[in-house]
Amino acid sequence: MDHASSLLECVPAEKITDRPVIHLPRLTRLPAGGLTVTRTARVEDFRAVQSMHARCSVTSLAIRYFTATERLSRSTWTGLCDREKGVTLLTGPGGDVRKVIAMTNILCTHDSGVVELAVLVEDAWQSRGLGSALASFALEVIQGQGVRALTASVMTANGRAMRMLRGIGATRCSQPGPEVDFRLDIGSIQGAGTGAGR
């Protein structure tokens, strides 16, 4: 039995919804090396998520939240785990499924059928292709869920996020400024596959 197979035995199998079947945990071998495990978030993951935020630099947190946020409040975290508001995925290193090194939020918006994507990867795991892999997986998660468009807002200083979004086919749809809006119409990628990350 290889290492990946043994990891699957350590984490309970789950799926996002009944349609389509998205089995989790998701094992990903990064282009730059390393194995990660992605699963759905639970309210009891609060401390692990706080620990990840504590390991992130001020810059990483600022360009993710657009403000000087050091950690999430418990109420905010509970909201992110509310399936009525969207889906939150947590990623850990292959050797420690309890540790959190990245968080992916796919959140409902006020515009029906439109979701917003946000990804936070702790500094030590950046520039290894993880963000792009998670963005591609987010597209897979929303396929067949009645989602017609994916959006994201990033700061112009967040070059990694802009490359990540362009990598999944999202296009810039806002005027130049401190924040950049991206949009991907899901109908344009139906049947074309979700592709791999950078």
Confidence of residue 191 (pLDDT cuts 50, 70, 90): very low
Which 3 state secondary structure label does DSSP give 24?
strand
Q: What are the distances in angstroms from CA 29 to CA 21, 85, 188, 198?
A: 21, 29, 27, 12
pLDDT tens digits, residue range 44-62? 999 999 999 999 999 999 9
Confidence of residue 145 (pLDDT cuts 50, 70, 90): confident
Q: Evaluate if residue 166 carries a pLDDT over 80.
A: yes
pLDDT tens digits, residue range 71-82? 899 999 999 999
What proportion of the chain, given as a percentage, has pLDDT over 70? 83
* 39 within 8 A of 13, measured Cβ to Cβ: no
* pLDDT for res 144: 83
Confidence of residue 22 (pLDDT cuts 50, 70, 90): low
* pLDDT for res 14: 55
* pLDDT for res 43: 96
* pLDDT for res 123: 96
Residue 6, both tokens: 């043994």
